[in-house]
């Protein structure tokens, strides 16, 4: 298996994380990881239920408006908040799939080996949430979290504990959910091809973004082609990010280089949304 040919770099990385596992084939790391992940998924379920029960123990009178005006669908007077709350969702989210794969096998899901393990990981999330749903009669689901802030705070904590490791913690943020890392050079079509293989494991929500280097105002056919491609691949929620520059003097918006094409001002704001 490819995993047995893990590079020296990978061994060093793994040594930092799991000293006792040094030298053992990487599929064992993956097995160990799956056991730990399973425990974490069960912990998440327990926490969600504890919070749910606590919310349901509140008196409807504490937020009367919510229950008297049909705001909370399903509420049955006299039956407590639970009658409305049980229709909500309890979701288990995630970030950093790409980095987890780097730790385990030294490559992410832009490779066939990485994708194979990614599907096992996501399959576990999906399977467990389906089981919790059956057992608890509540809407458990998997969420590919758009955790823009947590991506940074989680990375800070990780670096404090494990240090800086190449392609794992040598950036300021973890990669969001199961996204292709933003520094990977892939075309919009390749990104859709990769992420669409995993969106089916998430029944509570996910998003796929693509980043275009320039505005598509003059090439809407290209935009349409990309959107159609995403729809054909069953991407449930698709977003396109383009540069959006504003002149702070005259208010002109569009795509600039160093100055406003309208008034020549260099007092400009250049925005380009990225996801971590």
Interface characters, 131-170, with Zn ion (x: CB under 5 A): ----------------------------------------
State the residue for tokens 């494991």.
Answer: 201
* φ/ψ (deg, to 5) at 141: -155, 165
CA dist list (Å): 181 to 40, 102, 133, 169, 177: 24, 11, 31, 12, 10
Candidates 89-97, 188-196, 208-216, 246-254; binding stretch for Zn ion (CB under 5 A): 246-254
Question: Distance between CA atoms of 116 and 239, rounded to whole angstroms?
Answer: 26
Residue 263 in the binding site for Zn ion (CB under 5 A): yes
Candidates 87-95, 97-105, 191-199, 249-257; binding stretch for Zn ion (CB under 5 A): 249-257
Residue 265 in the binding site for Zn ion (CB under 5 A): yes
Residue 256 in the binding site for Zn ion (CB under 5 A): no
Q: In the complex with Zn ion, which residue's Cβ is closer, 1 or 263?
A: 263
Q: In the complex with Zn ion, which residue's Cβ is closer, 123 or 261?
A: 261
Q: Cα 197 to chain center, whole Å?
A: 14
Residue 255 in the binding site for Zn ion (CB under 5 A): no
What is the number of alpha carbons within 13 Å of residue 33 lying toward its C-beta?
Answer: 23
Residue 262 in the binding site for Zn ion (CB under 5 A): yes
Q: Are 246 and 253 in contact (CB under 8 A)?
A: yes
Binding site residues, Zn ion, CB under 5 A: 247, 249-250, 252, 260, 262-263, 265
């Amino acid at each position: 298996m490819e995993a047995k040919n893990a590079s020296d770099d990978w061994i060093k990385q793994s040594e930092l994380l799991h000293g006792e596992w040094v030298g053992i084939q990487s599929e064992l790391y993956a097995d160990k990881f799956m056991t730990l992940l399973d425990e974490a998924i069960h912990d998440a379920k327990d926490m969600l239920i504890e919070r749910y029960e606590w919310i349901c123990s509140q008196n409807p009178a504490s937020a009367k408006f919510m229950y008297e005006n049909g705001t909370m669908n399903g509420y049955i007077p006299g039956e407590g908040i639970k009658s409305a709350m049980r229709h909500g969702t309890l979701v288990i989210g995630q970030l950093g799939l790409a980095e987890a794969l780097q730790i385990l096998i030294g490559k992410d899901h832009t490779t066939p080996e990485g994708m194979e393990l990614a599907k096992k990981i996501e399959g576990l999330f999906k399977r467990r949430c389906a089981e919790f749903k059956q057992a608890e009669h509540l809407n458990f689901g998997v969420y590919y979290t758009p955790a823009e802030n947590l991506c940074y705070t989680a990375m800070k904590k990780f670096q404090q504990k494990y240090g800086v490791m190449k392609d794992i913690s040598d950036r300021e943020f973890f990669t969001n959910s199961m996204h292709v890392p933003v520094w990977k050079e892939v075309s919009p079509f390749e990104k859709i091809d990769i992420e669409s293989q995993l969106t089916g494991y998430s029944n509570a929500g996910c998003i796929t973004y693509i980043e275009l280097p320039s505005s598509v105002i003059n090439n809407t056919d290209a935009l349409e082609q990309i959107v159609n491609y995403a729809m054909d691949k069953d991407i449930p929620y698709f977003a396109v990010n383009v540069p959006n520059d504003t002149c702070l003097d005259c208010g002109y918006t569009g795509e600039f280089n160093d100055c406003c094409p309208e008034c020549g001002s260099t007092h400009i704001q250049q925005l380009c949304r990225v996801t971590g």
